[in-house]
Structures are given as structure tokens and as C-alpha cells.
Amino acid sequence: MEYESLRERVWRANLLLPGYKLVTFTWGNVSEVDRAAGVFAIKPSGVEYSDLRPEDIVVLDLAGHVMAGALNPSSDTETHLELYNAFPSIGGIVHTHSSHAVAWAQAGEDIPCCGTTQADYFYGPVPCAPHLTQAEIGEAYEKNTGRSIVETFLSRGLDPTHVPGVVCASHGPFTWGRDAAQAVYHAVVLEEVAKTALLTRQVCGEARPAPQRYLDKHFLRKHGPNAYYGQKARKGE
């Protein structure tokens, strides 16, 4: 099978979504890019996860032409493509309809960084990418979803390696990472922090952001120049 190892990795990553209860029925999709080969692989549209096989995974080039796979690629393919072409640091992308993240997307609101759980992975709020103007909607909706995400990050000066996800207004979350597996990990984190931010708002009437020093301590201990989080404990400590 052409692009076998890439399609296998993407197939395995897609199967994690129902396992983590991030998707219902056929909702959602995972992709991963092989920049050296100039292609990315993505879940086919509308296929039940229980029926999905590695050979069903569709491979496209970075201009969006199908290179391998007999089925139609995900209806979100244009969004994945926009992100791969705009942000070279992105290696894998996940889209889900996980309930709490969708609630913030449908509200059209950023998910504020209320505590250390989110600060460990997101250096601030999870931004909400707004609807695009009617003039922009003229093109394919999926292309505009990707463009709205890119323009949100560029206009707000956000680094996709520091903020590995977004909620798209009236739609749902997209997350990313160095590969498909890390993008799935971030999708789990995003759904969890979406839930706890919502609960925080229910407890005290607002989902107030944590102080900046919490973000600096928690995010930079994992991602900063002197990152130390997750190191094996030194002998004798």
C-alpha cells in the first residue's frame, strides 16, 4: 500500500477519538503531514470508526490533489490543508465535536485559561475563530474555516506551538501538534479544559483567567528554554 506507515499512523490516531469519547458516530477526523514527501493523510468522509481500515485513509498533496485512496477525503480537508500550509510547525491535526468545546464554539467565545491544567498546554486562552464575512464565505466553507483560524492567529500574534488549538464559531474545536498522536492528546486536553472552564463559570458566575505568573510557570516548565517537566527523577532525589 502506498504511504503505508503514514496511513497506518493516521488510522491508529483516528481510532483514539471514540476511545477518548471525543466523537459520536462519524463526527471528527485526524490527519498527519509528511512534509518530506509533500503529502498528508486524512480520514475519509462519513466512514464509521468501527469500519475504518488503513487503506481507507486518503493521501493528498499540499495542493489538495488526491494521491492515494479510493474514498472521498474528510469534508474538513481544506481546513487541514490551510493549516499545514500556513504553519510549518504543525505535523498533525484533529477536528472533533467534543461537547464542551463545541459549547464554547457555539457561544463564539474564547476558552479562558482559568488554571494550571490549561496553562500546562496552552499559553493563554483557547481562541475562538469567528465567522467570516459574507464576502469571504463565497469560497468553500472549509477553506474559510481554515482561513479564519489562520487570520485569528496572525492578527492576535499567537504562536501555534504555544496555543495548539482553537474553537471555530458555530462549529467546534481543531487541535494540532508535532504529529497526529500529539494532536489527539491536545484534543483530549482541550475538551477537559473546556469542561472545567464551563464548571468554573457555573461555580462562581465567571470563568476568570488565572494570573499570568501561573501561565509562565506552568507553560514554560514544559515548553520554555529551560523546560524540565517530565524528566526522569534524578537518582537519589
Residues that bind ligand HMS (CB under 6 A): 26-29, 43, 45-46, 74-76, 95, 171
Asked if residues 81 and 176 have their Cβ atoms less than 8 Å apart, the reply is: no
Minimum distance from CB of 82 to ligand HMS (Å)? Answer: 14
For this structure, is 229 an active site residue? yes
Helix (H) or strand (E) holding 34: strand 29-34
Say how far apart CA 79 and CA 133 lie, in whole Å. 17
Q: Which is nearer to ligand HMS, 119 or 168 (CB)?
A: 168
Minimum distance from CB of 185 to ligand HMS (Å)? Answer: 20
Q: Which of 3, 49, 76, 120 is catalytic?
A: 120
Strand 58-61 relative to strand 66-68: parallel, antiparallel, unpaired?
Answer: antiparallel
Q: How many degrees, rounded to 5, is the angle at CA 200 between CA 194 and CA 205?
A: 125
For this structure, is 120 an active site residue? yes
Q: How many degrees, rounded to 5, is the angle at CA 230 between CA 224 and CA 234?
A: 110
Closest CA to 179 of 48, 77, 14, 31: 31
Q: Which is nearer to ligand HMS, 7 or 95 (CB)?
A: 95
Q: Between the CA atoms of 164, 142, 18 and 229, what dihedral angle is there, to the nearest 10 degrees? A: -10
Say how far apart CA 165 and CA 183 lie, in whole Å. 9
Q: Which is nearer to ligand HMS, 113 or 129 (CB)?
A: 129
Minimum distance from CB of 236 to ligand HMS (Å)? Answer: 51
Minimum distance from CB of 173 to ligand HMS (Å)? Answer: 10
Instruction: Compute CA 169 distance to the chain's CA centroid, rounded to the nearest angstrom.
Output: 14
Q: Which is nearer to ligand HMS, 120 or 191 (CB)?
A: 191
Q: Which is nearer to ligand HMS, 98 or 118 (CB)?
A: 98
Minimum distance from CB of 44 to ligand HMS (Å)? Answer: 7
Q: Which residues are catalytic?
A: 120, 229
